[in-house]
Structure 1
Amino acid sequence: SGTLIAQNPYEQARSADINDIASIVELIKPLEDSGALVKRSRERLEEEIGYFSILERDSRVLACAALYPYEAECIGEIACVATHPDYRGAGRARQLLDELLAEAKALSLTHVFVLTTQSTHWFLEQGFEAANLDDLPVEKQQLYNWQRNAAVLRRAV
């Protein structure tokens, strides 16, 4: 028999589904309001829910993150990384990042990137490095929001 070693055995990471949208909206709204995250409409979340993973305990969403693959370029975007304020500082975002990196590897992506305005230091601690706009998929370069002026970071999968 195997041994499960978990920081908290009552928490599990899984792919998000349509039933998680209200919880994700509640989780990310304060970060959107502060400018830390790009605003996403409920409709956009519904369309993109398949890209999201969540960490939950007792059906409560504690953290979320998304991986948007650009398979033609073998790169993916990590986005919308958020942890509930009551549950920060215990490695939950790192746990979700690890899940998304494993997913990126399974999709044969070679790198992931992130655009961040407030979490550069955290992503650098997770092995990301400063990158240039040119390192992004062309489609993402064209959508880059210069007013937001986000740092471009990337790392190998």
Structure 2
Amino acid sequence: MTDWYRRKTWTRTDEEEYFAKLGRARKDGRAQYLRVQAIELIETKDKNLLSVAETLLNKILADYPDNRIEKSQTYNSLGEIYKLRENYETALEYFQKSLDFEKEFPNVITTAYLNFSETVIRAKKTELYDKVENLLTEKISKNTLKFPIQDYIMYSIM
């Protein structure tokens, strides 16, 4: 059976059960449960579920504004939603918010740098190509902990 916070559907029953269990969860873990559920819905790429995911992510920003652990991930996930909708301008804004947050709090790391870079290329934003090159070059030179697929994506963009 799937965890209650990893649903791939969102019926009225799903929503009622989800929020009932969320209400019983520890307060300091609720933002994470909202984000994980939103990511599960984003992965379906279903337009209706993307709207639900966006609502859940905005709930994190509204209800847990001081949660520094989830904020960058939330912005990154909102960017992914807009990228899937092919609204590249808004996607880039959210990816940039995530990147800005990570500069302020460097212990929080997401894939926003990859998502930002891929979206710039996909949207053919030539005026941002230098920024992408600098961003990826910085990530490569820092030699931070990352998965091999991230290196592959970085080098394929460059």
> Would you say same fold, with TM above 0.5?
no
- Structure with more of its chain in helix, by fraction: 2
TM (norm. structure 2) is: 0.38
* Structure whose CA Rg is larger: 2
Of the two structures, which has the highest relative contact order with CA contacts closer than 8 Å and spacing of 6 or more?
A: 1
- Hey, which of these two has a bigger chunk of strand by percent? 1
TM-score normalized with structure 1 length: 0.38
